[in-house]
Amino acid sequence: MPELSFYEKRRESLRSTYLQSADAGSPGVQTAGLDHLALICSDLERTIRFYTQILGLRLTRVVQNRDEPTSTHIFFDMGGGNQLAFFDFPERGNEPTVRGIGSMHHVALKTPPDQMHAIQARLDKHRIPYSIHGTADKGSIYVRDPDQILIELTTGY
């Protein structure tokens, strides 16, 4: 394995080649932001309970998946006009994915410090394991949802 300095040089090359400031004459962002992020869950009710009762998100829609009639598509309000969505695929079984190229590592949700403390209290109450990087006032809480999706709650430090 190369030394860590190799990776830092690579990161610096990426920064100098691709990072642009907002006033650098670039055309700017070509989208209006995130509409929704769609993930797959094994149990809709368990997912709804976790995201509403533990993380405090609001369920906003329950509809049929347009691509597969047996699949249900649920949406949670993440704030800022953004939604976190889940599908179930009841006819396909519950085989979990394996982390690799093209897979997602984690979802990071912006969380004000007062809400971070409330979420931490609910995690403790329900004995759901988590880890803290930094502090609950200025840092991140990492927790896994019922399907082991890694969720980061961050104060945006």
Q: Inform me whether the pLDDT recorded for 24 exceeds 70.
A: no
Confirm whether 4 is domain-assigned. Answer: no
CB atoms within 10 A of CB 18: 7
Confirm whether 109 is domain-assigned. Answer: yes
Instruction: Give the CATH number for residue 85.
Output: 3.10.180.10
Confirm whether 1 is domain-assigned. Answer: no
- Structural domain that includes position 130: 34-93+104-154
Confirm whether 12 is domain-assigned. Answer: no
Confirm whether 13 is domain-assigned. Answer: no
- Residue 67 is predicted with a pLDDT of 86
Question: H or E stretch including 153?
Answer: strand 150-154
Q: Inform me whether the pLDDT recorded for 91 exceeds 90.
A: no
Write the pLDDT tens digit of every residue in 141-150: 999 999 999 9
- Residue 10 is predicted with a pLDDT of 92
Domain count of the fold of the chain: 1
Confirm whether 112 is domain-assigned. Answer: yes
Q: Inform me whether the pLDDT recorded for 26 exceeds 70.
A: no
Q: Indicate the pTM of the whole model.
A: 0.81
Segments in 19-112 forming alpha helices (H): 44-49
Write the pLDDT tens digit of every residue in 55-87: 999 999 999 998 888 999 999 999 888 999 999
Confirm whether 28 is domain-assigned. Answer: no
Q: Find out whether 120 and 139 touch, Cβ atoms under 8 Å.
A: no
Direct distance between the N- and C-terminal alpha carbons of the chain, in angstroms, rounded to an integer: 31
Confirm whether 27 is domain-assigned. Answer: no
